[in-house]
Structure 1
Amino acid sequence: MTMVRAGVVPGRRMAGYVAAGILVVAVVCAGTVGVFGLNRVFTGLFFGAAAAVGLMVALFGRDRVELTEDAIVRRTPWGASAVAWDRVVAGRFALDEKGRWTLALDLNGGDEPHRELVLLSIPPVRRPIASAYDMRKREQVDEIRTMLRHRRIPVTILPEIANALQRHWKIAPPTR
């Protein structure tokens, strides 16, 4: 296993990406109308929307966390930073403030005395796999769990989450 892809885009950065997309639509539309006249406003909106979608795919595609054999790499569109595995204290699979299930790592050292790195945030599992999204999230949970087990990092998991993962997604509870 060489790399596992994970990561959650924080709300502020997501809002920035959406704002950049809206700005691209406005600039392309204004440019098209400025060059070709008011009759091309819908053409400008179309090409602006296409450019915005391309920009947002690029931004969201670059914003991720990669778990590699050597380190945990946090990537953003403008840079990357690595976190050594020895900074990871433990992992936890719990409920967040929005009622979603969050798989996060607790880190020590570094710039702050204690820090959290969210790897995955999914809606609660209430049924067997029904879509490609469910399948991808199941694969991510399993890949992350395997990587953390390989690195011998203890992971705590709420019993209701463990039961639902075992019942619906056929992921066995952690063994310790």
Structure 2
Amino acid sequence: MVRAGVVPGRRIAAYVAAGVFAVAVVCAGTVGAFGLNRVFTGLFFGAAAAVALLFALFGRDGVELTEDTIVLRTPWARSTVAWQRVVAGRFALDESGRWTLALDLNGGDEPHQELVLLSVPPVRRPVANAYDLRKREQVNEIRTMLRHKRIPVTILPEIAEALQRHWKIAPPAR
């Protein structure tokens, strides 16, 4: 199983709003139960509750590439996509200049769909921190899974060259 996925901006905003709401509710409950002198205690416990809530929400949200299917998860729903619907994969630039690894799907409700697996800032240096290392591992895991499933992947030449030079990821075999 390979874990991937990009959380859309609207969902991030909803998760952050839920976190702020958790802080407000816990703080108000603490102040209501123990008095106005416990505002900072309420804020502390509210922040702890918000962090736990955000970890739960973001941990549940994602895409899992399994041997049998592709599982799309949100905190409130779960759906699957058959590997037979995957036409191809591509590693290209998105609208904001980030590198996006996405799958093109056919069938389903819409005539053509895209499933974004990974979005990373352009690679301009060797692995320098834990974030870079995790993204490098994800790229390798996803490429291995797609290669195993015999799904063709197109990659922009400048992306392939930067991945090879900086992250030591070999270009896809023809």
Scaled by the length of structure 1, the TM-score of the pair is 0.98
| Separation (CA, whole Å) in 2 of partners of 1:14 and 1:89 | 29
| Separation (CA, whole Å) in 2 of partners of 1:174 and 1:60 | 31
Shift of 1:79: 1.7
Secondary structure (helix, strand or coil) at the match of 1:128 reads: coil
How many pairs were matched up?
174
| Separation (CA, whole Å) in 2 of partners of 1:99 and 1:38 | 48
In structure 2, give the amino acid aligned to 1:90. Answer: A
| Separation (CA, whole Å) in 1 of partners of 2:87 and 2:48 | 44
| Separation (CA, whole Å) in 2 of partners of 1:86 and 1:70 | 10
**Which residue in the other structure is 1:53 paired with?**
51
Secondary structure (helix, strand or coil) at the match of 1:82 reads: strand
| Separation (CA, whole Å) in 1 of partners of 2:156 and 2:99 | 10
Shift of 1:15: 0.5
Unmatched tracts of structure 1, length 5 or more: none
Moved over 4 A (4+): none
**Which residue in the other structure is 1:81 paired with?**
79
**Which residue in the other structure is 1:105 paired with?**
103
Shift of 1:103: 0.2
Secondary structure (helix, strand or coil) at the match of 1:110 reads: coil
| Separation (CA, whole Å) in 2 of partners of 1:106 and 1:136 | 24
**Which residue in the other structure is 1:20 paired with?**
18
| Separation (CA, whole Å) in 2 of partners of 1:90 and 1:11 | 25
Which of 143, 147, 156 matches 2:141? 143
Query: CA deviation digits over 1:108-130, x for unaligned, max 9?
Result: 00111110000000011000000
Percent identity at matched positions? Answer: 85
In structure 1, give the amino acid aligned to 2:125. Answer: R
| 1:134 has 2:120 as partner | no
| Separation (CA, whole Å) in 1 of partners of 2:37 and 2:129 | 42
Secondary structure (helix, strand or coil) at the match of 1:56 reads: helix
Shift of 1:105: 0.3
Query: CA deviation digits over 1:71-116, x for unaligned, max 9?
Result: 0000111121000000001000001111110000000001111100
**Which residue in the other structure is 1:6 paired with?**
4
| Separation (CA, whole Å) in 1 of partners of 2:66 and 2:34 | 50
In structure 1, give the amino acid aligned to 2:113. Answer: R
| 1:62 has 2:53 as partner | no
In structure 2, give the amino acid aligned to 1:6. Answer: A
Secondary structure (helix, strand or coil) at the match of 1:105 reads: strand
**Which residue in the other structure is 1:33 paired with?**
31
